[in-house]
Structure 1
Amino acid sequence: MQAFAQGPGQGRCIEITSRQERLGVAGSYAHLLDVVPSTPYVAFADQDDIWEPQKLEWALDTVARCPSHKPTLYCARQYLTNADLVIFQESAPLRRKPNFPTALTQNIATGHTVLLNAATHTLLRNNPPPPSILHDWWAYLLTAAAGGEVIFDSRCVSYYRQHAHNTIGATDSFIKRGWAACRRGPKVFMTIFRSNVTHLLNQPENLSPPALRLLKAIAAARTFPARLRTLFRYSSLRRQRFSETVVFRLWFLFSR
């Protein structure tokens, strides 16, 4: 990084030295988002993933079409590779358009594909993610909760290495994802779900009226009948796959 800053990046790189301790993935990104100078766009860069040469061009061209005052987040598909960058598959395409209810149930914004505009960056300043989720899901949640624009590019824009040291890995295998969810069980997921709801409700100034109504309905649904009414009223509270939606709704209905 120092060699790059002294060469091709001369005059364009800023080293952040205000925190010396290890912050973890989410804490590191939160700190960078707090201290990076104001700029029209912010892109997340993970150290072991490779971008297509046109990745930023594609993202900027897409986001620039949206009003600058409106929070906007761009994300995209990826090539899934092994540690040597040998592609073994593409990440899954979206089956449903992203919106705030679906953002509550599932993250579709893989960090190293993300580009934010300044309005979303403002939402993230001094606003770290809740426990147990990372910066990319939090950026997606805040953008959608504010009534912003979430753009998912169906092109694969990066090479996502899968190796033994991934903080968060990826798989397009429905069976593997389902088995991993069953092993974790409803408690882990529903704890994260409720934590996200609580953290968003604590900042009503950043919420659109529809998002605020949904969050209040979820928080107030403490009994089985109330939760059932919430699911009927907000049918878009679902995941990308039908089978995953069924599991989520069962967990939502029966969790304590």
Structure 2
Amino acid sequence: MAGDELSGLLDQQVAVLMCTYNGAHYLQDQLDSIENQKYKNWYLYVSDDGSQDSTRDILRAFEAKTDWLRVIQGPRNGFCQNFLSLICNGLIKADYYALSDQDDIWHEDKLLRAVKVLSDIPCETPALYCSRTKLVDERNNETGLSPLFKHAPGFRNALVQNIAGGNTMVFNHAARKLMLEAGPDANPVVHDWFLYMVVSGCGGVVIYDPVPSLCYRQHAANLIGANDEFIARLRRFGLMLSGMHRRWNTRNIEALSGLREKLTPENRYIYDEFSRFRNASLWNRLVGLYRTGIYRQTLAGNVTLWLAALFKRL
């Protein structure tokens, strides 16, 4: 990257939004990886949800060393509401916003790559960057990669699937304004999935980077990203049969309702049809799924999607 181009990028400030809760064991590694970013124009905001371990001590030491940190008291209502409260905190203002977990290790070019991609998009257009991740164990030994999704991101996908973890997400101020309109009291299943739905639904741009941007640590308290595809498929199928996916869809639809008028006309039609046909007769459920073109990223995922429509589990 040319020097003038890099200088222009560095004028743009990134607010790194981290949520913590009893994360002392791995927190220092994550803070070090943020401090070591090639992109230096960032400020770290941490919403701590009532940690009882030494998390706050580690944060105070980092603040004293760098003076690039502000700690905020979280709402103590789970990680999703903690992230939403931080995203919607009106006192935080920046050009871009990067979500951060407490136990990952960022690649040193994570922010630089994201800002470079986002800076090519007009600032008035909501934009969201996300990426694949490298999976590591408790000792930071590589164990694999997160799934590589090959189909284009979009609202038809976002309604039924999140393509990337929030720990990889960086978004611009136009996307942040949409989240402010949704508000911290929205009650989606998870904040990152909701962000994908909001940006893709409201005419924004979603960029999925197939190159991993961080090491996603897998440990006893964090098993969401486990990379056993067969077990993951069985788990998703079981959740579908149990009705869990249907309950998730209901929550997400309700959370998105406040932004319905902000959806593009095409996406408003898809949203309304999805809200309607998932409760319709068998034939209308299948026809509705076909007509709207809602999809998941893999063949197995789409089979599960059609089975969910068949058994009224959408």
Does the pair score TM above 0.5?
yes
Q: Which residue of 1 aligns with 2:80?
A: 26
Instruction: Report the alpha carbon displacement of residue 130 of structure 1 after superposing the two structures with TM.
Output: 5.3
Q: Distance in 2 between matches of 1:41 and 1:254?
A: 42
Q: Which residue of 2 aligns with 1:44?
A: 99
Instruction: Report the alpha carbon displacement of residue 131 of structure 1 after superposing the two structures with TM.
Output: 4.3
Amino acid in the other structure paired with 1:40: D
Matches within 5 A, 1:79-228: 79-125=134-180, 127-128=183-184, 131=187, 133-166=189-222, 169-186=224-241, 187-221=243-277, 222-228=280-286
Q: Distance in 2 between matches of 1:34 and 1:198?
A: 18
Q: Is the 8 A contact 2:166 2:191 kept in 1?
A: yes
**Of 90-99 and 130-139, the range deviating more from structure 2:** 130-139
Q: Distance in 2 between matches of 1:139 and 1:232?
A: 25
1:203 aligned counterpart, secondary structure: helix
The structure-2 alpha-carbon separation of the partners of 1:252 and 1:99, relative to structure 1 and needing over 3 Å to count, comes to same
Q: TM-score w.r.t. structure 2 length?
A: 0.75
> Which whole-Å deviations, capped at 9, do the CAs of 1:154-181 have from their partners, x for residues lacking one?
1111000111101x62133321111112
Q: Distance in 2 between matches of 1:194 and 1:24?
A: 19
Instruction: Report the alpha carbon displacement of residue 129 of structure 1 after superposing the two structures with TM.
Output: 7.3
Q: Which residue of 2 aligns with 1:6?
A: 64
**Of 195-204 and 151-160, the range deviating more from structure 2:** 195-204
**5+ residue gaps in structure 1?**
none
Q: TM-score w.r.t. structure 1 length?
A: 0.91
Q: Percent identity?
A: 28
Q: Which runs of 4+ in 1 moved over 6 A?
A: none
Amino acid in the other structure paired with 1:34: C
Q: Decide which of 242, 250, 254 is 2:307's aligned counterpart.
A: 250
The structure-2 alpha-carbon separation of the partners of 1:130 and 1:255, relative to structure 1 and needing over 3 Å to count, comes to farther
Q: Say what the alpha-carbon RMSD is for the aligned residues.
A: 1.8
**5+ residue gaps in structure 2?**
1-58
